[in-house]
Amino acid sequence: MVFGGVHSFMNDGHTADWLASLDILERELSGVETLYAGHGDSGRPLDLIDEQRRYLLHYRKMVGKLAKGRASLDAEAKKSLVWAMKEHLPTEALEVFIAAGADAVASELWAASDSSTVAIRRMS
């Protein structure tokens, strides 16, 4: 659910659900002093949750930009994603996860945008 200062595993492509779960977790852990992350450092729950949320939002933004409306990224786009995410979170810890999850998230974003388009067409 929360990675502490390391790159996150995105291969499942459920980042929208992950973000919603972070909102719930934030409410549930508001009085807790320490959260032990699945990977990485432990810390104050609200800080770790906020960092995870920012990471996910940035990853989604970059994948969306690099995918250019497609459901996957080519090799060059994945290199650009790695560079952008390492600039956002300057660590090599679990760096392999950055490119590995790119296609799953691109597919998730593509499906969400395609669903919106279908819904709009049906309303017309």
pLDDT tens figures, 72-105: 999 999 999 999 999 999 999 999 999 999 999 9
What φ, ψ does residue 3 adopt, rounded to 5°? -105, 135
pLDDT tens figures, 35-59: 999 899 999 999 999 999 999 999 9
Q: How confident is the model at residue 116 (pLDDT cuts 50, 70, 90)?
A: low
d(CA 36, CA 42): 4
pTM: 0.90
Contact predicate 97/82, CB 8 Å: no
C-alpha dihedral sign at 50, 51, 56, 60: positive
Give the H or E element holding residue 27: helix 15-28
- CA 44: distance to chain centroid? 20
